Amino acid sequence: MASFNIHLAIGKRYIEKSQNVKDRDKFYKGIIDPDLVDDKKTSHYTGIQSKSNLFEYLENKVKLIKYLKNNDINSDYQKGIFLHLITDYLFFNNFFDNDYLETTSYEEFCKDLYYSYEITNQYIEEKYKICYANFETEINNNIKKDKKEKNIGQEKRKNLLPVDKLDKFIEYVSNISLEKYKNKILQNNTNVLP
């Protein structure tokens, strides 16, 4: 999953660029809720996965078509959830270097990713003026739980999130028209890039 800060930065930039979010609190709640549940496979509409092939694993992490077949995006809360899922889908399928993914195990990827979050979170908070005080306890508890489950420590790792690339990603995703992208996915009846 993209970090909470990445999700919130994209949500904030989306609101700044779009006129179709009326209730910001519900929108932000939708943005963070998919990562606050115990069963993230259900909240992300995950497809069949095997951790032995990292490409395949990441490709099936989020199934946007499954979400859209079971939900609409009429409320600000649902828009937040959809933007969260779009972010994760594009993050896992369009952000990382293919050579790295081909030579890295799932376990090593998770350790590198969480290390990268640690070193980019402050940058994102400061640049995008992220404030998640309303959700701070839930978010911090979720992060601790995920790190424990994935056996992630504090050792220095590879940074997968160069800030210039991360900034471009945040701008790219926050520019997506949710309605147009929804229609494209439904027309193709599968996950597609915007």
76-135 pLDDT tens trace: 999 999 999 999 999 999 999 989 998 999 889 988 998 899 889 889 989 999 876 666
CA–CA distance, 47 with 192 (Å, rounded to integer)? 15
Residue 149 has pLDDT above 80, yes or no: no
**Amino acid found at 32:** I
CA–CA distance, 48 with 88 (Å, rounded to integer)? 16
Task: Give the least confident one: 36-45, 87-96, 146-155.
Answer: 146-155
Domain coordinates in residue numbering, the chain: 4-188
List Cα–Cα distances, 87 to 14, 96, 124, 125, in angstroms. 12, 13, 15, 17
